[in-house]
Amino acid sequence: MAHPRKPVTAGPLTLELQLRYAYTPGGLRPYFEALQQGQALASRCPQCQRIWFPPRLLCSYDRSTTEWVRLSGRGRIISVTCGTSRLPLAQTSSHHCFALLALDGADNASFARVIGDERVLQKGARVRLSAAAAATPHPAQSACFVVDDK
């Protein structure tokens, strides 16, 4: 006997997921360690010379194994958005600004948190990498940029 089907549009569907996994930074350990010290470690492809930040272990263009290269950590904002959000692995929401950045020396744009006066955090503003003020749940969250007033 067939079960009567409840139309999927009849109400909200509840789905609860819980995942737990452990991993190591692996080959990106130098990048995360540099971030926690406020330094920008990128990768350069020996084939096409593209520089990636955040780094890729393999070039996204031609899959060549890359090598480490240090950048100044300075760049400019391409676009920015601010609002209330919860960072990954955080327990509470708070006000944050995120930006798409063009880092000096990098060939790709990167996404990062920016901290500072929102009247100044605008398209074209110069920023520099700064170590996160507080411990973060994941080392990638150490990628915080502040207004570069030098």
Measured distance CA(49)–CA(123) in Å, rounded = 27
Q: Is 62 near Zn ion (CB under 5 A)?
A: yes
96 forms beta bridges with 83
Please give the DSSP secondary-structure letter assigned to residue 8: G
How many residues does this entry show for the chain? 150
For Zn ion, the closer of residues 41 and 59 by Cβ is: 59
Stretch that binds Zn ion, among 7-15, 62-70, 107-115, 131-139 (CB under 5 A): 62-70
Q: Is 79 near Zn ion (CB under 5 A)?
A: no
Residue 148, helix vs strand vs coil: coil
Among the listed residues 34, 45, 103, 127, the single contact to Zn ion using CB under 5 A: 45
Stretch that binds Zn ion, among 37-45, 71-79, 105-113, 123-131 (CB under 5 A): 37-45
Q: Is 61 near Zn ion (CB under 5 A)?
A: yes
For Zn ion, the closer of residues 61 and 98 by Cβ is: 61
8 A C-beta contact, residue 126 and residue 101: no
Q: Is 48 near Zn ion (CB under 5 A)?
A: yes
Measured distance CA(23)–CA(35) in Å, rounded = 18
